[in-house]
Amino acid sequence: MKIKNKNYKELICLKTGAKARIIKFFDHNAVSYVKVNINMKFQNSSFQILKTIQFDDMEKQFNYIK
How far apart CA 53 and CA 57 sit, in angstroms, is: 7
Instruction: Give the pLDDT of residue 4.
Output: 43
pTM for the model stands at 0.73
pLDDT in tens, 7-56: 567 899 999 899 999 988 889 998 999 999 999 988 899 999 999 999 88
| Separation of alpha carbons 14 and 8, rounded Å | 16
Residue 62 has pLDDT above 80, yes or no: yes
* Domain ranges within the chain, ordered by starting residue: 3-64
Is the model's pLDDT at 61 over the cut of 60? yes
Q: Say if CB 63 and CB 36 are below 8 A apart.
A: no
pLDDT attached to residue 6: 54
